[in-house]
Amino acid sequence: MVYYKDDELIIRSMEEADDKEFYEALTAQGWHPQTGDWLKRMKEETEGKCITLTAVYQEQAAGYVYLYKTVNEGPFRGKGWPMIVDFNVLKKFQRKGIGNRLMDAAERLAVVYADTVCLGVGVCDSYGSAQRMYVKRGYIPDGSGVWYQDKQCVQYETVCTVDDDLIMYLYKKLKDN
């Protein structure tokens, strides 16, 4: 399925070949991805749990995001809101508007399921660009502070590892009831 298309960018459903392409691209930029992660998301899409979105910029896989139809973690569990998960634009494709177009597509899909969409974002500096983008797009913190491995952190608690599991949740109202 194609969700967006212009002269340079296509946003479409994830395809099997994307698994290898993203694995190699993320490894090249110094990350340590798990092989098969993208295939797992595609399987969850066929099960009706999520929608996969892949950005292809000038015929190269450039980024991806997933929209889960229901939230199974954090402070939004059970609210009936869809959740944007694992948003990523490869470093060499950043600052080209690809991330905003991916988010536009995800939000257009999310509004079909609820009037509000949510997400979690890492709190360390490597997530700084995403944090700023979310705020500019109208996402606001839910007020529950930070969470680590799906557990809300409490004041003065020691969190030993600042990794991808230390997150803050945000939400955005997509339409009025």
Give the pLDDT confidence of 126-153 residue by residue, as tens digits.
Answer: 899 999 999 999 999 999 999 999 999 9
Tokens for 131, please give them: 């944090």
User: Minimal CA–CA distance to 14: which of 39, 47, 49, 33?
Assistant: 39
Q: How many domains does the chain have?
A: 1
Count of CB atoms within 10 A of residue 37's CB?
Answer: 14
161 close to 97: Cβ distance less than 8 angstroms = no
Beta strand 9-12 with 151-152 is: unpaired
Q: Enter the tokens of residue 64.
A: 């991806």
Looking at the predicted structure, is the pLDDT value of residue 164 above 70? yes
> Is residue 50 left, alpha or beta, with left meaning phi > 0 and alpha meaning psi from -120 to 50?
beta
Q: Is 131 exposed, middle or buried (0-12, 13-18, 19+ CB in 10 A)?
A: middle
CATH number at residue 45: 3.40.630.30
Question: Which range, of 31-35, 44-48, 140-144, 150-154, averages the lowest pLDDT?
Answer: 31-35
Res 56 pLDDT > 70: yes
Calculate the CA dihedral of residues 78, 3, 105, 20 and round it to 10 degrees: 80
Residue numbers of the domain that contains 168 = 2-173
89-121 pLDDT tens trace: 999 999 999 999 999 999 999 999 999 999 999
